[in-house]
Amino acid sequence: MADATNKPLTRVGPEGGTPVLLLAEYDTPAAVMHAAEKVRDAGFTRWDVHTPFPVHGMDKAMGLPDSRLGWIVATMALIGFSTAVSLITWANVVSYPFIVGGKPAFSIPSYAPVCFELTVLLSAFGAVFGMFGLNKLPRHHHAVFESDRFRAVTDDKFFVSVEYADPKFDDVRTRELLESTKPNHIEIVEDNES
C-alpha cells in the first residue's frame, strides 16, 4: 500500500456531506490491535475501534482508563443500604415505636430483607443508567453507519475510525498513519452536520 497515498480515498455518506471521520478496515484482531496502538501513540483523542466481539487487551491498546461504572454502582449500593436502614429505623424507633412480642425496636434480622432489596435495586439502576451516561447513549445516529463496508463489523471485520474533529487530525498525516498499519480499505465518511 505504499503507493496508495496517491490514490483518492472512497467517500461515503450523503451527497454534499461534510467529512467527519476516516475509517480503516482490518481482517484480524491482531491487525486492529496494532493499529489501535499506533493511533494511541500518535496522540489522537477522538477515535474508536469497532469489533464484532470483545478483543482482550484492546482497552490497554487504546490507552483507556479503568471504567468508572464500578464506583457508580458501589455508590448507589451504599445509598440504597443507607436509605433502607434510615427508613426502617425511623419507622420502628421514631414514628411507630411499638414493641411486638418483646422484640427490640432496633432488630437487625428484620432489617435484612429491606436492606438487601434496596441495595440491589439502586445498584441495578446505577449500573444501567451509569452505563448509558458513560457511553453517551442513546445515540440514534453516528456517521460511521453511512459506510456500507461497516456492516461487516457485526460479522468478521474490524475497524478503526478517527474523527476529523480530533485536534491532531491532519488529512495527509492521519491517512499515512492508518496506511502504515496495512488496512484492507480506507475511506472518508461524510455526514450532514444538521
Tens digits of per-residue pLDDT, 9-21? 888 877 778 899 9
**Contacts with 168 (C-beta within 8 Å, 6 or more apart), sequence order:** 42, 43, 44, 45, 174
Q: Is 177 domain-assigned?
A: yes
pLDDT of 159 reads 98
Q: How far apart are CA 94 and CA 176, in angstroms?
A: 71
Indicate the DSSP class of residue 138. -
Is residue 29 included in any domain, yes or no? yes
Q: Single out the residue in 97, 116, 134 at which a domain terminates.
A: 134
Which strand (E) or helix (H) includes residue 160? strand 158-163
Q: What is the mean pLDDT of residues 10-39?
A: 92
Q: Which residues pair with 186 in a beta bridge?
A: 24
Q: Could you tell me if residue 153 is inside a domain?
A: yes
How far, in Å, CA of 184 to CA of 98, rounded? 75
pLDDT computed for residue 193 by the predictor: 64
- Cα–Cα distances (Å) from 97 to 57, 81, 85, 91, 131, in that order, read 57, 22, 15, 8, 41
Average pLDDT over residues 45-74: 96
pLDDT at residue 2 tops 50: no
**Where is the domain boundary, 134, 151, 182?**
134
Task: Round the CA-based radius of gyration of the chain to a whole number and report it.
Answer: 26
Portion of the chain with pLDDT greater than 90, in percent: 74
Query: What DSSP character marks residue 94?
Result: I
Examine residue 130 and state whether it is found in any structural domain, yes or no: yes
- What is the reported pLDDT for 11? 83
State the pLDDT at residue 102: 79
CB 162 within 8 A of CB 22: yes
Q: What is the mean pLDDT of the chain?
A: 91
User: Does the residue 3 lie in any domain?
Assistant: no
The boundaries of the domain holding residue 50 are 11-64+140-191
pLDDT at 191 > cutoff 90: no
pLDDT confidence band for 108 (50 / 70 / 90): confident
Per the model's pLDDT, the better-predicted residue between 10 and 187 turns out to be: 187
Q: Residue 43: pLDDT above 60?
A: yes
